[in-house]
Chain A
Amino acid sequence: MTAQAAAEQAAQVGPARSVVLQAERLTRRFGGLLAVNSVSFDVEEGEIFGLIGPNGAGKTTLFNMITGLQRLSSGSVRYRGSEISKLRPDQIARRGIARTFQNIRLFGNLSALENVMIAQHVHLRSGVLGGVLGLPLSRREEQHAPERACELLDLVGLLGRAYQEARTLPYGDQRRLEIARALALEPTLLLLDEPAAGMNPNEKHDLSTFIRGLHDRFKLTVLLIEHHVPLVLGLCDRIAVLNFGQLIALGAPEQVRQDPAVIDAYLGAE
């Protein structure tokens, strides 16, 4: 299935599997602590790229650096060839990188629908005057926006809860709402920070299928942090393993699984 998707993309993009995201010697210091230490990797167009590692390995910091929420101490991040590490988070989002958060960060007091509609921001163009006066462009946009948002809610199975306040949703629904919100940005690169956290094995399996489905349907490149090893091994095309801020392995799931350094640091615990 991946090969087929890749072939489709190759037909569209031209050269097979171009690099979308290029992290080069990414480093982040917090005082004396090296949270991320000179990590380099490439993410290729259309792949599902897993990022694993024990707690405190620097995975979320890495995500924050890619999405501009945390500054780099040194190194560079290139997205489709251009440097993005100096950009603000909203500029990075505008270029097509969307994310979810490990500790869910929904707009809690707003409805599920509003949460998704907010993320359509960059795709709507009406300004203050046009919007307030209800000029044609704005009126069209404001009519279509909830429809599109509802389609996304439908996709994650939350249409029935469109008007429920986000903070009152069950935990699993909140995670799915975060994914719907990220999709509303119409990203090309989707960063998922522990999407399966707190789910039971059944739900994890469903989520895995769901992510695979999104990847195929929206032609997404997915970068994924996950603790649950079977899920990562089954879902990802390639995996990077972090430990104490350093990249200790990178490659196909089978390869990584047999890497002695990885077994020692992480998988050995299984």
Chain B
Amino acid sequence: MAVFFATYGSLIVAMLLAAMLALSLYLPLLAGQLSLASPGFYALGGYVAAIISTRVVPFDSGAQAYIWRMGTHEVARFSGPLYPVSLLIVEMLVAGVLSAVLAIVLGLPALRLRGIYLLLATIAFVQILQVVTQVLDLTGGAIGIFNIPQPFASQLGYAWVVVPLLLLSAGFVYRLERIRIGRAFTAIREDELAAAAMGINLAYHKVLAFTMGAVLAGIVGVISAHSINTWNSRQGTFDAGITYLAFVLIGGSRTFLGPIIGGIVLYALPEVLRGLAAIPGLPLALAQLLKDGRLIMYGLLLVLGTIFFPQGLIRPNLFRHRTVEATPRKIEQQ
């Protein structure tokens, strides 16, 4: 068991982070806004963590960074001083606030656009952010920022932050879907014009949904930056956005469980396929396909999934809200 966690610690953490990134894209989608801005806020959060932990806070990461570079990725152990978790949480707060401010500034004009135009605007945002971070000294230019200190002695240690955060965000979205604001989001997704005629402020709710997703992506970026140990402009790019979108579309875009399951399963899928390739006795061609062609199979699954499960694997009818369900019966009995 210990060996399993030591080997797969970073994968498990990355799977859970993927679930949250999928949620961050799902939130605006809940209000019908197809946005690929999440990677941008993810990148922003990563830079917040990188800058604070390496340039703002006087924390000497020399010793542990040395060990990090020596060890192989999966089994690295740190004997140096650990970065305080309290500071990690401060970084998450800063990233959340910054993401929210940027999301509001960006969202107010961008969310006037619809459908494909909003999508293009959010892609443009991600690209602009990437170019800007490549030139700025603050973000380490094209090379990025190295030696981001480790708050935990092993990759699996990140679970102490990631698991509660995932539970918190899942609980948040679960509740959101069952209250007034969530209903307003769904109404906008179903029919903007009718929603407006029913008294729902479109701009406010669109920006709100967009901002919630941005905050989550920003916070995930903070954790990722520490976990990866280095941050540069290759993190949080357009193609990452497409991957998150696949998590949501395959997992299911109608309930919060869809993106979570989608993120976890799809992130792990290539690794599982690679593992299958190692089974002895497989025909060479198949083993080759599983090992090297895993991205092909991954793509194939995406295509098949969208054809056969257009609403995703997890659909809301699997679960129903009990108090609401009970109400008409109660009234009928009266």
Near B by CB (< 8 A), chain A positions 146-164 give 146-147, 150-151, 153-154, 159-160, 162-163
B179 touches A153 (CB 8 A): no
A106 touches B194 (CB 8 A): yes
Residues of A within 8 A of B184 (CB): 118, 121
B180 touches A147 (CB 8 A): no
Near B by CB (< 8 A), chain A positions 39-92 give 67-69, 88-91
Is A119 among interface residues, defined by CB-CB distance under 8 A? yes
Is A143 among interface residues, defined by CB-CB distance under 8 A? yes
CB-contact partner of B199 in A93, A109, A134, A163, under 8 A = A93
B190 touches A110 (CB 8 A): yes
Residues of B within 8 A of A126 (CB): 179-180
Q: Which of B85-93, B101-109, B170-178 forms contacts with chain A?
A: B170-178
Is A140 among interface residues, defined by CB-CB distance under 8 A? no
A131 touches B328 (CB 8 A): no
Is B331 among interface residues, defined by CB-CB distance under 8 A? yes
Assembled-state Cα–Cα distance A142/B321 (Å): 12
Distance (whole angstroms) from the CB of A182 to the closest CB of chain B: 8
Near A by CB (< 8 A), chain B positions 125-140 give none
Near B by CB (< 8 A), chain A positions 86-110 give 88-91, 93-94, 98-99, 101, 105-110
Distance (whole angstroms) from the CB of B192 to the closest CB of chain A: 10
A121 touches B323 (CB 8 A): no
The count of residues in chain B whose C-beta lies closer than 8 Å to any C-beta of chain A is 34
A128 touches B176 (CB 8 A): yes
Query: A90-B200, A121-B199 are contacts. A154–B190 as well, Cβ < 8 Å?
Result: no
Q: 6 A–B contact pairs at CB < 8 A?
A: A88-B201, A94-B199, A118-B187, A118-B195, A147-B327, A150-B327
5 shortest interchain CB distances as A-B pairs = A131-B179, A93-B199, A107-B190, A89-B196, A122-B199
Residues of A within 8 A of B193 (CB): 69, 89, 105
B197 touches A89 (CB 8 A): yes
Residues of A within 8 A of B196 (CB): 68-69, 88-90, 93
B197 touches A131 (CB 8 A): no
Residues of A within 8 A of B200 (CB): 90, 118, 121
Assembled-state Cα–Cα distance A106/B176 (Å): 22
Given A113-B327, A162-B328, 8 other A-B contacts at CB below 8 A?
A88-B202, A99-B197, A107-B194, A118-B184, A118-B186, A147-B330, A150-B327, A150-B331
B-facing mask of A233-247, CB < 8 A → 1, else 0?
000000000000000
Distance (whole angstroms) from the CB of A93 to the closest CB of chain B: 4
Distance (whole angstroms) from the CB of A73 to the closest CB of chain B: 20
Is A188 among interface residues, defined by CB-CB distance under 8 A? no
Is B324 among interface residues, defined by CB-CB distance under 8 A? yes
A150 touches B328 (CB 8 A): yes
B199 touches A185 (CB 8 A): yes
A114 touches B183 (CB 8 A): yes
Contact size range, A:
35 or more
B191 touches A107 (CB 8 A): yes
Name B's A-contacting residues (CB within 8 A): 171-172, 175-176, 178-184, 186-187, 190-191, 193-202, 208, 323-325, 327-328, 330-332
Distance (whole angstroms) from the CB of A33 to the closest CB of chain B: 21
B201 touches A146 (CB 8 A): no
Name A's B-contacting residues (CB within 8 A): 67-69, 88-91, 93-94, 98-99, 101, 105-110, 113-114, 117-122, 124, 126-128, 131-134, 138, 141-143, 145-147, 150-151, 153-154, 159-160, 162-163, 181, 184-185
B324 touches A113 (CB 8 A): yes
Instruction: Give the one of B200, B202, B327, B330 with max A CB within 10 A.
Output: B327
A181 touches B176 (CB 8 A): no
Smallest CB-CB separation from A108: which chain B residue?
B190
Query: A101-B194, A118-B200, A121-B198 are contacts. A142–B180 as well, Cβ < 8 Å?
Result: yes
B198 touches A118 (CB 8 A): yes
A110 touches B186 (CB 8 A): yes
Assembled-state Cα–Cα distance A101/B324 (Å): 27
B191 touches A105 (CB 8 A): yes
Assembled-state Cα–Cα distance A121/B204 (Å): 13
Smallest CB-CB separation from B183: which chain A residue?
A118
Query: A90-B200, A151-B331 are contacts. A146–B179 as well, Cβ < 8 Å?
Result: no
Assembled-state Cα–Cα distance A109/B199 (Å): 20
Query: A69-B193, A89-B197, A99-B197 are contacts. A128–B331 as well, Cβ < 8 Å?
Result: no
Residues of A within 8 A of B178 (CB): 142
Query: A90-B199, A109-B190 are contacts. A138–B179 as well, Cβ < 8 Å?
Result: yes
Residues of A within 8 A of B208 (CB): 128
B199 touches A119 (CB 8 A): yes
B181 touches A127 (CB 8 A): yes
Assembled-state Cα–Cα distance A89/B190 (Å): 17
Assembled-state Cα–Cα distance A109/B172 (Å): 23
Residues of A within 8 A of B332 (CB): 159
A90 touches B201 (CB 8 A): yes
Query: A88-B201, A105-B193 are contacts. A131–B324 as well, Cβ < 8 Å?
Result: no
Distance (whole angstroms) from the CB of B224 to the closest CB of chain A: 25
Query: A69-B196, A117-B183, A185-B199 are contacts. A159–B331 as well, Cβ < 8 Å?
Result: yes
Residues of B within 8 A of A121 (CB): 180, 183-184, 187, 198-200
Residues of B within 8 A of A154 (CB): 331
Smallest CB-CB separation from A166: which chain B residue?
B190
Query: A89-B197, A122-B199 are contacts. A131–B191 as well, Cβ < 8 Å?
Result: no
Distance (whole angstroms) from the CB of A69 to the closest CB of chain B: 6
